[in-house]
Homo-oligomer: A and B are copies of this chain.
Amino acid sequence: MKSQFGERVRELREKQNLYLRQVAPLLEMDTAQLSKIEKGSRLIKREQIQVLADILKADSNELLVLWLADQLYEVVKDEDVALKAMDAAQETLKSNKRNKRNK
């Protein structure tokens, strides 16, 4: 339920002195939805991250990383083997990257 993405967005929004009511319409949602996003009970859409980053004058890659990390965490959070699973996935990513690099 708690989300690093949401916490960071709130931080950035407050730094810009913006209200939910001001930001939400720019994302074509109501304040209730944006509030839930900041609280971590809803996911923002991937394409909206860039829009939000622009509004908050923030780095969209930073937000994207947090948004993805929240979802990764969600998959394994209750698992004893969470770290092992992460290692395995990381291995796969790395080896796929190697293959991609060599076309």
Contacts and interface: CB of A to CB of B under 8 A. Distances in A.
Interface of A: 4, 61, 64-66, 68-73, 75-77, 79, 81-86, 88-90, 92-94, 96
B75 A72 contact: yes
A64 B70 CA distance: 20
A66 to B, nearest CB: 7
Copies in the assembly, this chain: 2
Contact of A94 (B71, B75, B83, B90): B83
Given A75-B75, A76-B93, A93-B76, A69 B88 contact: yes
A71 B75 contact: yes
Contacts of A93: 73, 76-77, 82-83, 86
